[in-house]
Structure 1
Amino acid sequence: MANHKSALKRIRSNSVKQLRNKYQHKTTRNAVRDLRATTEKKEAEELFPKVVAMLDKLAKRNIIHKNKAGNLKSKLAKQVASL
């Protein structure tokens, strides 16, 4: 158990941040999944910049590693180009 007032506050703020990070990460994973599932090139080209922006935000906030974001963007760009 926490011994200091600041430790109790840290526990509260960490749980709030964890929920926010989890929500953003899950939302981005769903967007990546939806982009991979699309078969129309037009729709994929419209969705791609939004997904890239989401991945960049996650990497900027250290929710995912910047190299993971880069790898995902590269694979998605390849897939959209091949449609």
Structure 2
Amino acid sequence: MANHKSALKRHRQSLIARARNRAMKTRVKNAIKAVREAVESKDTAAAQDALRAATAVLDGAASKQIIHWKTAARKVSRLNLAVNKLAV
């Protein structure tokens, strides 16, 4: 553990950022899970609503650089594909 005042502050800040990042990653996972569950239950309306919410959460995580923007785009694309297959 650091002893300098600035290093102690940096450590406190990193703990706060870590908690924020972990919370956002959990939100991302839960949003993706909600879409997959709606697709599995073959509920088109619920799947589309969950997809809309998941897209917003993924885009938010990407804009804050919690996940890479290409990772977010890939996940949105795959969820979109699953929902669109359900609608057909």
* TM-score normalised by length of structure 1: 0.94
Alignment partners' CA distance in 2, 1:17 and 1:3: 20
Alignment partners' CA distance in 2, 1:57 and 1:42: 23
Partner in structure 2 of residue 12 of structure 1: 12
- Number of aligned pairs? 83
Alignment partners' CA distance in 1, 2:76 and 2:24: 17
Q: Percent identity?
A: 35
Alignment partners' CA distance in 2, 1:52 and 1:80: 12
Question: Moved runs in structure 1, 4+ residues, more than 4 A?
Answer: none
> Deviation per CA, 1:25-70, whole angstroms, max 9, x where unpaired?
1111011011111120111111111110100011111110000000
Partner in structure 1 of residue 68 of structure 2: 65
Question: What is the identity, as a one-letter code, of the residue corresponding to 1:52?
Answer: T
Segments of 5+ residues of structure 1 without an aligned counterpart are none
Question: What is the identity, as a one-letter code, of the residue corresponding to 2:17?
Answer: K
Partner in structure 2 of residue 29 of structure 1: 29
Tell me by how many angstroms 1:24 deviates.
Answer: 1.1
* TM-score normalised by length of structure 2: 0.89
Q: For 1:6, what is the secondary structure of its paired residue?
A: helix
Alignment partners' CA distance in 1, 2:49 and 2:26: 20
Segments of 5+ residues of structure 2 without an aligned counterpart are none
Alignment partners' CA distance in 1, 2:70 and 2:76: 10
Q: For 1:72, what is the secondary structure of its paired residue?
A: helix
Aligned CA-pair RMSD? 0.9
